[in-house]
Amino acid sequence: MKNFNDTFLRAAKGEKTDYVPVWYMRQAGRSQPEYREIKEKYSLFEITHQPELCAYVTRLPVEQYNVDAAILYKDIMSPLPAIGVDVEIKSGIGPVIDNPIRSLADVERLGEIHPEEDVPYVLETIRLLTQEQLTVPLIGFAGAPFTLASYMIEGGPSKNYNKTKAFMYSEPKAWFTLMEKLSDMTITYAKAQIKAGAKAFQIFDSWVGALNVQDYRTFIKPTMEKIFSELKKENIPLIMFGVGASHLSQEWHDLSLDVVGLDWRLPISEARANGITKTVMGNLDPAILLAPWEVIEERTKAILDQGMAQPGYIFNLGHGVFPSVNPETLKKLTAFIHEYSSKNS
């Protein structure tokens, strides 16, 4: 592809780059006026079912902000209807599931995903972007089994995941059967995205920080080892990210992945001191984007200085872009990151 920018891919592999690559979680949509106009007509699922429209939403931040990677516009819930989960994204609430998991029988009823038949629109969007439209890598993604399970068991968003944990502790056979089914779905879904053209893949375990290290090792880590070991065969960078999960960063570092995503709670210098030698990604608190520019610049410099202390660093936020963030702020921030890091790398 003409003038393809592979800086993000090289940084993900731990290589030295001319400047620090940057992309933002939830960069597509939410804060962009063009996206808000589209959302007045279509729901999230309706947008993702229209490849041309979904590709437009995905590439918009690349064109507007000059970021070094695109991330496919969709939701972690996208593959669940294919396996028999009745999920709806409700405005102001999030994913709501009308048939929550309550027993081993409920788990055993779940089916398998066949991406070319069940989510052809996702794969067509990827092909459009990677074959015709993008000059930066496209990141595919999926939700991790724990996070997907939390929605499937709670029936929607939760603050404490009590039902999920109770199910995990009291129904271990059902829990591990669910993990097996969700890991198989994730692998199949991820491989289809990669085959369609995704150049990197991120697993979002958004809510796994609710678990302590011992429970993660017992109930989650074997599943994640299976997923990453299988995806490692695809020879593209693999990224792990969760919120409020700093205590699990070393557990992630053990997995067959390339990039450890950090939220704003764990400084990069501390992660390095704790033995994280793989590429790290992060980790400006997204709330800082609502502060005056002087504050944004100061905080960004401090993070860049830590990240650039050794090769293998990708700038990102510690979570997703808020709807109230001014798109001009992200454009200015990207330019600053590129300029500052190219002078100081």
- How far apart CA 270 and CA 25 sit, in angstroms, is 22
What pLDDT score does 29 carry?
Answer: 83
> Which pLDDT value is given to residue 3?
87
At 225-267, the pLDDT tens digits run 999 999 999 999 999 999 999 999 999 999 999 999 999 999 9
Residues 6+ positions from 28 with CB-CB distance below 8 Å:
35, 57, 58, 60, 61, 70, 71, 73
Q: What is the pLDDT of residue 262?
A: 98
So what's the pLDDT on residue 154? Answer: 97
pLDDT of residue 2: 63
Q: What's the one-letter identity of residue 173?
A: K
Phi and psi torsions of 242, nearest 5°:
-150, 165
Can you give the length of the chain in residues?
345
286 domain residue, yes or no: yes
Please state whether the peptide bond connecting residue 283 to the residue before it is cis, i.e. omega within 30 degrees of 0.
Answer: yes
3-class secondary structure per residue, 298-316: HHHHHHHHHHCCCCCEEEE
Examine residue 170 and state whether it is found in any structural domain, yes or no.
yes
Mean pLDDT of 70-92: 93
Tell me the average pLDDT across 188-212. 97
Query: Which sign does the torsion angle of CA 282, 284, 289, 294 carry?
Result: negative
Is 1 inside any structural domain?
no
The pLDDT of 25-33, averaged and rounded, is: 91
What confidence tens digit (pLDDT) does each residue in 125-149 have? Answer: 999 999 989 999 999 999 999 999 9
In this prediction, what percent of the chain has a pLDDT beyond 70? Answer: 99
Residue 2 lies in a domain: no
Residues pairing with 280 in the sheet: 260, 313
322 falls within a domain? yes
Q: What is the mean pLDDT of residues 264-277?
A: 97
Name the domain count of the chain.
Answer: 1
Helices (H), 156-248: 162-170, 172-196, 213-215, 221-231
CATH of the domain at 123: 3.20.20.210
Q: How confident is the model at residue 57 (pLDDT cuts 50, 70, 90)?
A: very high
* H or E element at residue 78: none
Q: What is the model's pLDDT at position 84?
A: 96
Integer Cα distance of 238 and 294 in angstroms = 34
Confidence label for 326 from pLDDT (cuts 50, 70 and 90)? very high
Domain extent, residue 273, equals 7-344
Whether residue 232 is contained in a domain is answered as yes
Rounded CA-CA distance 24/217 in Å is 29
Residue 1 has pLDDT above 70, yes or no: no
Among 28-32, 40-44, 66-70, 318-322, where is mean pLDDT lowest? 28-32
**pTM exceeds 0.85:** yes
Please enumerate in sequence order all residues whose Cβ is within 8 A of that of 130, keeping only pairs 6 or more positions apart, or say none. Answer: 138, 196, 197, 198, 199
**Which residues make Cβ contacts (< 8 Å) with residue 255, sequence separation at least 6?**
221, 224, 225, 228, 240
Segments of the chain assigned E as strands: 70-71, 87-90, 94-97, 138-143, 200-204, 238-241, 259-261, 279-284, 313-317
The pLDDT of residue 94: 87
> Residues 198, 139: contact at Cβ < 8 Å?
yes
User: Distance between terminal CA atoms of the chain?
Assistant: 27
Please report the pLDDT score of residue 204 as a whole number: 97
d(CA 76, CA 105): 24
Count each helix (H run) and each strand (E run) in the chain, helices first.
16, 9
Structure tokens at 50: 């229209």
Of 54, 22, 191, 58, the closest CA to residue 115 belongs to 191
pLDDT number for residue 59: 96
Residue 214 banded pLDDT, cuts 50, 70, 90 = very high
- Asked if the structure places residue 18 within a domain, the reply is yes
The pLDDT value given to residue 273: 97
Cβ atoms < 10 Å from Cβ of 40: 6
> How much is the average pLDDT of 180-202?
98
Token digits for 24? 């933002």
Give a yes or no: residue 31 inside a domain. yes
